[in-house]
């Protein structure tokens, strides 16, 4: 895709590194923390920009220093930020991320300005929809705004890419009928569908239930086990690249953005492989936007 619009969230990430995450009621000593630009929408926009795609974003930040840093980060990779509102009455979104030595994490998000991205904020930027080839959305802004964005994308004949994260069980069927490509991981797929995803067959059945609701293509990301492509005609598995993970934050965002950057409408195998390489590099680096590779790095990665 040459031109992509991302409609979604921007968060300042408070990333805390520790040997292992605490159990309920337990206190553990952490090794350190970093403040890193993040948010699923902003991570995807940043990655698209860094991979050379002409990218615009619709979203919102507060008029605080975190908001400024998030805009600067996107602008550093040439993302058009004119669709991101600066709202004086709310704080920029924040994410609190615990990362253990295995690279696995737990994330809690305070929506802040992301919750104020209502349908009107999305509709005001209709011109950005008209200029894009594809529109990419996630679920850290209100669902009604995601539906509004998908409808505008459809109205302008654009490809609708939907990352259903953080997953929830109450999405309207109308949304799935507007989606061309969706990318849940197996945990999200279980939450979205109410179906088990413990085995390969169960994952395929759950993914097909999203096709029944109207989604055209489901890409189930399986971490180190690769990616499962499920469409009406085929089920195909693609491998992941083996690396030593230090921080999995934004790996899914990086995968999706890299996939979209290579996708031309039917080259699933090539685009999934490009996404898998980009994500493999991202998990070897700390932080969200700080972990995103360049196009050159992804192309050279084997
Ligand atoms: O997908 C990773 C992102 O999830 C983090 O950057 C954090 O902000 C949360 O939105």
Q: Residue 249 and residue 285: Cα distance in Å, rounded? A: 9
- Ligand 1, residues at Cβ distance < 6 Å: 9, 11, 13, 38-40, 43, 95, 107, 109, 140, 249-250, 252-253, 288
Q: Which atom of ligand 1 is nearest to the CA of 288?
A: 6
Per-residue pLDDT, 56: 98
In a domain, 219, yes or no: yes
253 is catalytic: yes
Percent of the chain with pLDDT over 90: 99
Q: Residue 7 and residue 138: Cα distance in Å, rounded? A: 8
Contact 180/211 with Cβ under 8 angstroms?
no
pTM over 0.85: yes
Residue 3 pLDDT grade (very low, low, confident, very high; cuts 50, 70, 90)? very high
Instruction: Write the CATH number for 8.
Output: 3.40.1190.20
In a domain, 26, yes or no: no
Per-residue pLDDT, 63: 98
In a domain, 193, yes or no: yes
pLDDT one-digit tens code per residue, 134-170: 999 999 999 999 999 999 999 999 999 999 999 999 9
Centre of ligand 1 from the C-alpha of residue 272, in Å: 21
pLDDT one-digit tens code per residue, 187-221: 999 999 999 999 999 999 999 999 999 999 999 99
| Number of structural domains the chain divides into | 1
Domain with 118 in it: 3-20+32-300
Per-residue pLDDT, 111: 98
In a domain, 186, yes or no: yes
In a domain, 273, yes or no: yes
Contact 59/146 with Cβ under 8 angstroms?
no
Contact 1/261 with Cβ under 8 angstroms?
yes
- CB neighbourhood size of 137 (10 A): 30
Residue 16 pLDDT grade (very low, low, confident, very high; cuts 50, 70, 90)? very high
Residue 11 pLDDT grade (very low, low, confident, very high; cuts 50, 70, 90)? very high
In a domain, 25, yes or no: no
Per-residue pLDDT, 206: 98
Work out the angle at residue 279's Cα, subtended by the Cα atoms of residues 164 and 238, and round it to the nearest 5 degrees: 80
- CB neighbourhood size of 158 (10 A): 22
Contact 37/288 with Cβ under 8 angstroms?
yes
Nearest Cα to 158, choosing from 183, 176, 181, 174? 181
Q: Which atom of ligand 1 is nearest to the CA of 95?
A: 8
């Amino acid at each position: 895709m040459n031109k992509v619009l991302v409609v979604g969230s921007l968060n300042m990430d408070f990333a805390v590194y520790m040997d292992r995450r605490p159990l309920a009621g337990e206190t553990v000593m952490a090794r350190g923390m970093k403040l890193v630009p993040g948010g699923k929408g902003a991570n995807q926009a940043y990655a698209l920009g860094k991979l050379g795609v002409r990218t615009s974003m619709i979203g919102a930040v507060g008029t605080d220093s975190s908001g400024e840093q998030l805009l600067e980060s996107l602008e550093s990779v040439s993302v058009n930020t004119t669709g991101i509102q600066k709202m004086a009455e709310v704080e920029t979104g924040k994410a609190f991320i615990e990362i253990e030595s295995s690279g696995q994490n737990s994330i809690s998000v305070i929506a802040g300005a992301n919750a104020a991205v209502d349908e009107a904020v999305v509709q005001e930027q209709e011109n950005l929809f008209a200029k894009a080839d594809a529109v990419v959305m996630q679920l850290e802004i209100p669902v009604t705004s995601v539906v509004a964005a998908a409808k505008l994308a459809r109205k302008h004949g654009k490809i609708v890419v939907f990352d259903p994260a953080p997953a929830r069980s109450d999405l309207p069927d109308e949304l799935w009928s507007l989606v061309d490509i969706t990318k849940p991981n197996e945990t999200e797929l279980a939450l979205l569908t109410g179906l088990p995803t413990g085995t390969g067959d169960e994952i395929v059945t759950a993914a097909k239930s999203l096709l029944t609701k109207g989604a055209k293509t489901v890409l189930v990301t399986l971490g180190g086990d690769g990616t499962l492509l499920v469409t009406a005609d085929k089920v195909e598995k693609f491998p992941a690249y083996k690396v030593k993970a230090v921080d999995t934050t934004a790996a899914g965002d990086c995968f999706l953005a890299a996939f979209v950057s290579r996708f031309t409408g039917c080259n699933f195998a090539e685009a999934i492989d490009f996404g898998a390489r980009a994500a493999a590099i991202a998990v070897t680096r700390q932080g969200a936007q700080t972990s995103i590779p360049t196009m050159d790095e992804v192309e050279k990665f084997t």
